[in-house]
Structure formats: structure tokens, C-alpha cells
């Protein structure tokens, strides 16, 4: 029985993540999915962009490609088309995947390349110091939004479903067992699978918005799933910006799943 | 040899890529390079290759790098605006040492500029376009046949040195049809793969010749590739010693091999008083101007760099010799002329002949320039 720690590059430790950050929990959930599916590490590639989430791939003993900011879906598309024998998973963040890399992400979804994308959403830019992200809730404080951001955030799952992703799901770091289960389904899905993983950033998002420690943020996350986000709204949002009272975007589970032709490059299409 | 065919430069580029072993192309439509993508969209599938049209030029080169990491020889092609977008990933490929070929069919700029007109405005961008300082290999064919030849060479250099290689030519060469006889067989170079054990593999361990092995993902060697500065394990580091060693090695990989890489052509320079420095399509006009000038008794010559980068400085120095004047002819506001001045300004007068109006430089105007400079010399200036 493989121990998921066998998948780690222990020589690469210590890692760069802050105390209380849930990204490590999410990586563990992913490795449990790899283990359950008995994926061959030689045939598993992880591709990432730039940011805290993207740094995760450095710590796993697979074929790991640390690409440029936002471009991991493009690198992964080329890799998967060149190596259809490999399982290719992308790790990205909300800034990496939805701001600078938003176009690459939606086009990878549209093509239905056989990739699994994990988008770790911590509502803020962590690595660069807590700037507002395209997922920062309206009114939430960030270093570049000291009075609260006035922009509306993306709903990543709705965006990806609209873009044509053939598997769309959301899980939360606070529930690693569910996270693993959904990641197993995503990795098993033939086509483009997208899993938004709600993570935390106690160092910036939590501190700027008085949400407490990492543990407190996870508890907050758990309650949000139970539908008590309204109570958080008062704490999260500053007064002068209209708040998004709709909490449906915080639902978890597999939202969309369909079978449709997988893009494997024109060579296969021409042969059909 | 096969029979002669009438094909355009862009098609010769696509055919050169196929002959060199390219089996992956990712690109984005842009004039005047689109025929390269169109040709490969038709021909790659039958050759066991893969074609994908990406959402932009950034993604195109990203996909090319991903495919190359997967072990495929891969290329993209674009023009100025797209070449600007690709700079990010040219730097990545140089840093992470991923072989790939970028073709830039130059058009008038800046910005959207003149999409259907020739230019040589990207030759300095090809050297210095990406941030941070990196080695560069840039080839500049001057004919349809040479587009084929240098596209093959670009792949061979990319695979030999594990680095991006850029091929630059202009709209005229891209779209001109010439009768060419392309070779049935070309020599091809494949990247160095590791032959040691998988366990304990250090992807970036010091190599005597500075070229570290590059296994394909999926072939059993599990390793990390990054655009961050990395150590011998390929893992990010900020250690000054390792940082310096990496950057020095990356540059040495091209600098130390520049005698092998550099290429230039000379025409009647041996006894020349006036030499035209020109590359790409301008060198074709210059050659004709030199021939006509010689008929008039003007001792003219031509120096044509085939590799713009590394710049063939020694060959230029030798060609200039005792010539008193070098006319640097370019379809830009004066870019490679700075290299000419660096090499030859101490012995010869460097005279620019530049055009930025979207029209190619003609033999007639260069002939007039040669006459003018020759007259100036005999007029007692020397």
C-alpha cells in the first residue's frame, strides 16, 4: 500500500506555504486521489503557473512543469497532445487561472482537452502580498483595495461551465475526503475536468478581513457550505459597497458532467 | 534530388519543419505568416504530427514548449505583433532549456503597422525582446530555398543546444514564389537524452560541454522544469553561486559555440572599396546592385549575415578588410547597423541606407548609393 508521502519530494522541503494555509491539505487530497486511482508516477504530469498554488507541484515526485503566469493550460495542452499516454493535471490559483490566464483556461475547456484543472481559490493574490483578485468578494479588503474592492468577482464554476468544460465541480479544503472523491472523478473523466477548490489565505485575506487564523477560516468555510454565509457578510464586506448576498455560488459538489468529443489534435481528427 | 517546384517562402518553411522532424505546430492566425500554419494544418496529420490553433500567440508558444517537453520537435510561426506576445515564452524556453523554433515573418510596425508589407523591424527584438538577458540564436534566410534550409537548421540548433531558435524573414520572402529544388534528405539532430539511471537523476548537473540532458516527460525520468532560477536538481534556488553558474552556463552555451553557429556569405568583398551590409530580402537586391556596380567599374561587395545572432563579427571584420565604406541597408530605422558600427567603424565609414515605408529596398537605389559612395571616395575624401 503506497503511502501518499512516497509521492513527495522530501528533499524539496521545507515548502513555501504559510502557517494555516490549506493548500497543503488540498495537495494531500489530490495525492490520495492519485493513490486510489493507482496512477503511474512516471505517466503523471503536473503543470502549474505562478503563485502559491502553483508552487505545490515542486513538492511531488511526478513530471512537473512550472510554467509562466497563467499559461499552464496552454503548456498542458501541448504536453497532452504530444503525450496522450500521460495523465496531465494543472494546478492554478484564482489570480493565475482567472485573471492573467483566464483566456487560456476557457479555451482549454472549450477544446475539451483531456486535462484535469485544480483551481485553488483563496480569494486573493497570496504570493505577491495580498492584492485583490478576480475572486475577491465585492467589498473585501486587499492591499490594492484598502477600502474594499468595488469589482464583482467571477464565479469560476459558472465561467467554466459556460466555456464548455465537460466536468465542473467545487470542493472545499475543509472537506478533504469529499475533495479526494471529487478529484478521483475529475481525473477519471475523459475530457476537460475542472475542480475549484476553496482554500484559505489567513496571512492576507484572513488578516485584511479580520477572519481569524487558518483554523478559524476553515470553520468559516465549513459554515458557509452549510448556508450561513449571510452572517459572514457583515464581517467580510465593507458598508459602502453593495454586497453579493447570493450564496449559491458557494455550493459544493459536481455541477456539470457530459460526454463530448475530446480534442486530441488534428491528427486524430483527420484519421476519423 | 526531386524536381523543381514553384513554392512560396512560407510553404518552404513548413516543408523544412517537416523535413527536420517537426511533429507539432501551435499557432495563431496572423498576416503574413498564416500560410505556414495552413500548410502544416494540412500536412502534419498525415505525417503523424499534431496541429492546434491556439487562442493567442502566448498560448501558441506555451503549447509548443509543452509538446517539446513531451519529446516532440515543435514550432510556431507568427509576425511582429504575435512575436511581441511570444517574448515571454522565448525567455521561458531559454531559461528552462526547451528546444523550440519560432518563425517571425516580419511586417511593417510598430504595433499593427503594415500587415501586408515587408520589414526588418524585429531583428533587435529577436535578440533582446524578452526580459532578463538570455542567449539567442536567430537565422535570416534570403530566399525561398534558404527558408527551407534554415528552418531545418533552426531545429537542429534548437535540439543541439536545447534552446529556442528564431527564424526571421520578411513578407516578401514569405510570399514570393520561387522555383526551388528541395533536397530529399536532410541531416537532422536530436536532443541529448540521459543515459544514466532514473534513480537520483539530476537534470541540471554540471555537464562538461554545458549541455545538460533533456528527457521527455513520460519516459521514466521524473523531474522539475521551471522558469525560476534553478539548481542542479532543477529546483528553484536563490543561491548566488548557483544563480551565477546557471546564467553563465546558459550564455556560454551559445557564446562558446558561436564559431559553430555563426554563418555569413560574402560576394566580391576581396578587393572591394564599398561593401553593402544586408540580410534577408535586402541582400538579394544588394547582390544585384553589387553585380551592376562591378560592371560599371565600382569595386563593390556584399556581406550578408545568415545568422543575425550570434552576430558573425569576425567574418564581417575580415570581409571589410581595407574597404573604406560599408553601406548598412535595412528595412528598419537602423538596427543591425549598430553591430556593423561596433565591428567596423574603426576602419570604415558606416553609411546607413534605410527604408521604413513598407517598400522593399530596390537594386536601383542601392546601385545609386554605391555609385555615390564610390564617387565620394575617388573625390579625394580618403
ipTM (interface predicted TM): 0.97
Q: Which of A191, A217, A193, A223 is nearest to A203 (CA)?
A: A217
Least confident of A115-124, A193-202, A249-258, B155-164: A249-258
Q: Using the predicted structure, report yes or no on whether residue A148 has a pLDDT greater than 90.
A: no
Distance CA B151, CA B71 (A): 19
- Per-residue pLDDT at A234: 46
Sign of the C-alpha dihedral, residues B76, B81, B83, B86? negative
Between A153 and B30, whose confidence is greater? B30
**Cα dist. B157→A36, B191, B321 in Å?**
43, 9, 30
User: Could you list the residue range(s) of the whole structural domain that residue A90 is in?
Assistant: 4-271
Sign of the C-alpha dihedral, residues A209, A213, A214, A219? negative
Distance CA B360, CA B334 (A): 15
- Reported as a single tens digit per residue, the pLDDT across A59-81 is 999 999 999 999 999 999 999 99
Q: How confident is the model at residue A241 (pLDDT cuts 50, 70, 90)?
A: very low
* Mutation for testing the A interface, residue in B22, B217, B237 having most A CBs under 10 Å: B217
Q: Which of A132, A173, A232 is nearest to A20 (CA)?
A: A173
Q: How confident is the model at residue A152 (pLDDT cuts 50, 70, 90)?
A: confident
The DSSP-derived string for B298-344 is --EEEEEESEEES--HHHHHHHHTT-SEEEEEESSSSSTHHHHHHHH
DSSP letter assigned to residue B230: B
The three grid cell numbers given for residue A133, joined into one nine-digit string: 483578485
User: What integer best gives the mean pLDDT of chain A?
Assistant: 88
Q: Which of B340, B335, B309, B264 is nearest to B139 (CA)?
A: B309
Distance CA A4, CA B159 (A): 36
Q: CA geometry: angle at B179 spanning B360 and B154, to 5°?
A: 70
Of A66, A74, A83, the CB nearest to B217: A83
Structural domains in chain B plus CATH codes: 5-180 (3.40.50.970), 265-381 (3.40.50.920)
Helix (H, G, I), strand (E, B) or coil at B215: coil
- Counting as low any pLDDT under 50, the low residues of chain B are 381-382
Of A75, A267, A271, the CB nearest to B62: A75
- Per-residue pLDDT at A210: 83
CB contacts of A85 in chain B (<8 Å) are 218
Q: Using the predicted structure, report yes or no on whether residue A229 has a pLDDT greater than 90.
A: no
**Partner-chain contact A81 B41, CB within 8 Å:** no
The enclosing domain of A65 has a CATH number of 3.40.50.970
Helix (H, G, I), strand (E, B) or coil at B267: strand
Distance CA B53, CA A110 (A): 13
Is the CB of A270 inside 8 Å of chain B's CB atoms? yes
The mean pLDDT of A215-228, rounded to a whole number, is 67
Q: How confident is the model at residue A209 (pLDDT cuts 50, 70, 90)?
A: confident
- Per-residue pLDDT at A232: 44
- Per-residue pLDDT at A268: 47
Q: Using the predicted structure, report yes or no on whether residue A225 has a pLDDT greater than 50.
A: no
Three-state SS for chain A is: CCCHHHHECHHHCCCCCCCCCCHHHHHHHHHHHHHHHCCCHHHEEEEECCCCHHHHHHHECCEEEECCCCCHHHHHHHHHHHCCCCEEEEEEEHHHHHHHCHHHHHHHHHHCECCEEEEEECCEECCCCCEECCCCCCCCCECCECCCCCCCCCCHHHHHHHHCCCEEEEEECCCHHHHHHHHHHHHHCCCCEEEEEECCCHHHHHHHCCCCCHHHHHHHHHHHHCCCHHHHHHHHCCCCCCCCCCCHHHCCEEEEECCCCCECCHHHHHHC
| Tally of structural domains, chain A | 1
- Per-residue pLDDT at A1: 57
**Partner-chain contact B66 A267, CB within 8 Å:** no
Distance CA A166, CA B321 (A): 67
Is the CB of B49 inside 8 Å of chain A's CB atoms? yes
CB A265 within 8 A of CB B25: no
A176: phi then psi, degrees, rounded to nearest 5: -65, -25
Is the CB of B18 inside 8 Å of chain A's CB atoms? no
Nearest CA in chain A to B24: A82
Distance CA A106, CA A110 (A): 6
Amino acid at each position: 500500500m503506497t503511502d501518499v508521502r512516497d509521492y513527495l519530494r522530501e528533499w524539496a522541503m521545507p515548502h513555501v506555504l504559510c502557517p494555516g494555509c490549506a493548500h497543503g491539505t488540498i495537495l494531500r487530497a489530490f495525492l490520495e486521489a492519485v493513490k486510489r486511482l493507482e496512477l503511474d508516477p512516471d505517466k503523471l504530469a503536473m503543470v502549474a503557473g505562478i503563485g502559491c498554488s502553483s508552487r505545490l507541484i515542486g513538492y511531488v515526485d511526478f513530471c512537473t512543469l512550472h510554467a509562466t503566469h497563467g499559461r499552464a493550460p496552454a503548456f498542458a495542452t501541448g504536453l497532452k497532445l504530444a503525450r496522450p499516454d500521460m495523465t496531465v493535471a494543472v494546478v492554478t490559483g484564482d489570480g493565475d487561472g482567472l485573471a492573467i490566464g483566464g483566456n487560456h483556461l476557457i479555451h482549454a475547456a472549450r477544446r475539451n482537452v483531456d486535462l484535469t484543472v485544480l483551481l485553488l481559490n483563496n480569494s486573493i493574490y497570496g504570493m505577491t502580498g495580498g492584492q485583490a483578485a478576480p475572486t475577491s468578494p465585492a467589498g473585501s479588503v486587499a492591499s490594492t483595495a484598502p477600502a474594499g474592492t468595488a469589482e464583482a468577482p467571477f464565479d469560476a464554476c459558472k465561467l467554466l461551465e459556460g466555456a464548455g468544460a465537460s466536468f465542473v465541480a467545487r470542493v472545499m479544503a475543509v472537506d478533504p475526503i469529499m475533495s479526494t472523491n471529487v478529484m478521483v472523478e475529475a481525473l477519471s473523466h475523459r475530457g476537460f475536468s475542472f475542480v475549484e477548490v476553496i482554500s484559505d489565505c489567513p496571512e492576507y485575506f484572513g488578516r485584511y478581513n479580520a477572519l481569524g487564523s487558518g483554523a478559524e477560516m476553515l470553520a468559516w468555510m465549513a459554515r458557509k457550505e452549510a448556508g450561513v454565509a449571510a452572517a459572514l457578510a457583515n464581517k467580510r464586506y465593507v458598508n459602502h459597497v453593495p454586497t453579493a448576498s447570493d450564496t449559491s455560488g458557494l455550493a459544493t459538489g459536481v455541477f456539470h458532467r457530459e460526454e463530448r468529443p475530446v480534442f486530441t489534435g488534428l491528427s486524430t481528427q483527420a484519421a476519423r | 534530388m526531386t524536381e523543381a517546384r514553384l513554392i512560396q517562402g512560407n510553404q518552404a518553411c513548413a516543408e523544412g519543419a517537416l523535413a527536420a522532424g517537426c511533429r507539432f505546430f501551435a499557432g495563431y492566425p496572423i498576416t503574413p505568416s498564416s500560410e505556414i500554419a495552413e500548410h502544416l494544418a494540412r500536412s502534419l496529420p498525415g505525417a503523424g504530427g499534431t496541429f492546434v490553433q491556439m487562442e493567442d500567440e502566448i498560448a501558441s508558444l506555451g503549447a509548443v514548449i509543452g509538446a517539446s517537453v513531451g519529446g516532440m520537435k515543435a514550432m510556431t510561426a507568427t509576425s511582429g505583433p504575435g512575436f511581441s506576445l511570444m517574448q515571454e515564452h522565448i525567455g521561458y524556453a531559454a531559461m528552462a532549456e526547451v528546444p523550440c523554433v519560432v518563425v517571425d515573418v516580419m511586417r511593417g510596425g510598430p504595433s499593427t503597422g503594415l500587415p501586408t508589407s515587408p520589414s526588418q523591424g524585429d531583428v533587435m527584438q529577436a535578440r533582446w525582446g524578452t526580459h532578463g538577458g538570455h542567449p539567442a540564436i536567430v537565422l535570416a534566410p534570403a530566399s525561398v530555398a534558404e527558408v527551407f534550409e534554415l528552418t531545418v537548421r533552426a531545429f537542429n540548433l534548437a535540439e543541439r543546444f536545447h534552446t529556442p531558435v528564431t527564424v526571421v524573414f520578411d513578407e516578401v520572402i514569405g510570399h514570393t514564389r520561387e522555383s526551388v529544388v528541395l533536397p530529399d534528405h536532410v541531416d537532422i539532430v536530436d536532443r541529448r537524452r540521459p543515459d544514466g539511471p532514473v534513480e537520483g537523476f539530476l537534470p541540471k548537473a554540471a555537464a562538461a560541454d554545458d549541455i545538460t540532458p533533456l528527457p521527455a516527460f513520460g519516459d521514466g525520468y521524473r523531474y522539475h522544469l521551471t522558469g525560476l532560477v534553478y539548481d542542479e536538481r532543477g529546483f528553484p534556488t536563490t543561491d548566488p553561486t548557483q544563480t551565477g553558474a546557471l546564467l553563465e552556463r546558459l550564455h556560454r552555451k551559445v557564446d562558446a559555440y558561436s564559431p559553430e553557429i555563426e554563418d555569413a556569405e560574402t560576394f566580391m568583398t576581396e578587393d572591394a572599396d564599398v561593401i553593402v551590409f544586408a540580410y534577408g530580402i535586402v541582400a538579394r537586391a544588394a547582390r544585384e546592385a553589387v553585380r551592376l556596380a562591378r560592371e560599371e567599374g565600382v569595386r563593390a561587395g556584399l556581406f550578408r549575415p545568415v545568422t543575425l545572432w550570434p552576430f558573425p563579427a569576425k567574418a564581417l571584420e575580415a570581409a571589410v578588410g581595407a574597404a573604406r565604406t560599408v553601406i548598412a541597408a535595412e528595412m528598419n530605422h537602423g538596427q543591425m547597423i549598430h553591430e556593423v558600427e561596433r565591428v567596423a567603424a574603426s576602419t570604415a565609414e558606416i553609411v546607413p541606407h534605410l527604408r521604413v515605408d513598407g517598400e522593399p529596398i530596390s537594386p536601383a537605389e542601392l546601385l545609386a548609393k554605391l555609385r555615390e559612395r564610390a564617387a565620394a571616395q575617388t573625390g579625394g575624401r580618403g
